[in-house]
Amino acid sequence: MLTPVKRILFATSLEPATRPVSRMAASLAVQYKAQILLVHALKPKNDGVAAAKDSQQSSDNERNTKSAGYREVQRSITEKVQAFFDEEMVEHKHLKLFEKTIVEEAKPGDLILRVAAVENIDLIVMGSQQPKGVKKLFAGSVANYVMERSSKPVLIVPLA
């Protein structure tokens, strides 16, 4: 029996170079009549200890302001990505490809894996730039991190 693909996690850094990943996610969503969950990680400001300390000291007002800021970032990212898909997918504009956008302050690999598990994702689509030379020896990529730890299929789109 074939594995159904109904929910696609599209992980993006939102850099212009990731357009091929966007196109792949949209193409697969159209082919499989699937929904896309867009995931974008914001770089954490603090390490874990400092973040926990900040969290304990934050007032409700500060937490509400931070939450409102994330909602605004999510709305802005959703609008930009939807505009891109509308432009790229003119013949499929009538389809509602996006289920939701998730933007969180987290390490990208950890966020992708957590969302994939919690949201019952069928396929993760993400890009990867292959490091060269010394960087290749010492730098692990988010794509490698996700591939090594994911229980879900991962499609890696090579970036130039």
Name the class of domain 7-158: alpha beta
Judged by average pLDDT, the poorest of 22-31, 77-86, 110-119 is 77-86
More confident residue, 108 or 97: 108
Query: Burial code of 114-144, b = ≥16 C-beta within 10 A, e = fewer?
Result: ebbeeeebbbbbbbbeeeeeeeeeeeebbbb
Element (H, E) at 1: none
Which tens digits make up the pLDDT trace of 106-117? Answer: 999 999 999 999
How far apart CA 40 and CA 103 sit, in angstroms, is 5
Tokens representing residue 137 in the block: 């020896």
Judged by average pLDDT, the poorest of 34-43, 58-67, 102-111, 138-147 is 58-67
**pLDDT above 60 for 98:** yes
